[in-house]
Structure 1
């Protein structure tokens, strides 16, 4: 069994890793929000999704969050009329990515807040460890 401060650091560290991966996925989605296929009929970029899971860690005696899967959103592609586009079909329509930038920005904001919360927990736990060391020195 580990001490509570060490467990706290490991739990918040797992949260930081998970939210960092989530931020990477959201950033990739935003970067490709207008990435169409290269030729007529090609599919555009498909939005990525991330799924988390909770795993019990015996050393910490607590559940740690981790990335379970990075998948693809099965939502339909939007179409836009743009007959001059290289990916336009015979009717002039282009398949657009199924990325909703407003949704991605909201997800990015939530991810950032979760990351900051985990970082704050880690910072406070580290400060408590340093105070314990200072007490032991005296």
Structure 2
């Protein structure tokens, strides 16, 4: 019975992680047109037990955004250039799709463990 609980907890931890990934990608997509915005990246570390994952922190992508000539923009430098965000919508959508599929896989694992747990309880009731 403990292994079923551990399976459910691991699936829950995976769903929480994928929710955080989707949240970070959503923030990146929302700010894709903001000049100077740097893409956020969620760094993940496996816990020592190996049973669950823990999001450690959100880091900023250090790659530079494209420089665009726009001298009328209030954010333009002395030469008239602004630095665009370094967010790629294609990359963010791919990350969100992967996180969504991983979430669904964890949800299916959780449902299967719950079903097995319920079956075990039904057998014990007899």
Gaps of 5+ in 1: 37-43
Task: Name the residue aligned to 1:19.
Answer: 18
When normalised by structure 2's length, the TM-score is 0.92
2:40 counterpart of 1:48: yes
May I ask how many residue pairs the two structures share in their alignment?
126
For residues 27-69 of structure 1, the C-alpha deviation after alignment (integer angstroms, 9 at most, x for no partner) is: 1001000112xxxxxxx11111111111134xxxx43111022
Structure number having the greater strand percentage: 1
Q: What does 1:54-133 correspond to in 2, within 5 Å?
A: 54-57=46-49, 62-133=50-121
Deviations 1:67-97 (A, max 9, x none): 0221110001211222332212333322111
**Structure 2 unmatched runs, 5+:** none
User: TM-score, normalization: structure 1?
Assistant: 0.84
Provide the rounded CA distance (Å) in 2 between the counterparts of 1:86 and 1:75.
23
How many Å separate the matches in 2 of 1:81 and 1:120? 50
Normalized per residue, which structure has more helix? 2
